[in-house]
């Protein structure tokens, strides 16, 4: 999924199925078998998230967080 300026509504991880779900409007993007997840924040505000899947591909960049 590639888009600009879509607000991030949530992130969830299901350890049973090993899936990271990225919830935006109007999409939900599932990353199966994430190997690494990096988070950047400033004073508690989420700035960016990057997930690397089992093949080593970068799957997520950054978002505007919806409060």
Domain ranges of the chain: 7-65
Q: Are 66 and 9 in contact (CB under 8 A)?
A: yes
What stretches in the chain show pLDDT beneath 50?
A: none
Which tens digits make up the pLDDT trace of 47-63? 788 889 888 888 766 65
Q: What is the pLDDT of residue 15?
A: 97
12-42 burial by CB neighbour count: b if 16+ within 10 A, else e? Answer: eeeeeeeebebebeeeeeebeebeeeeeeee
């Amino acid at each position: 999924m590639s888009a600009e300026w879509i607000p991030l509504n949530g992130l969830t991880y299901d350890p049973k199925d090993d899936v990271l779900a990225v919830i935006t409007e109007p999409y939900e993007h599932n990353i199966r078998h994430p190997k690494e997840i990096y988070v950047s924040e400033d004073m508690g505000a989420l700035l960016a998230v990057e997930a690397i899947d089992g093949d080593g591909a970068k799957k997520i960049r950054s978002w505007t967080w919806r409060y």
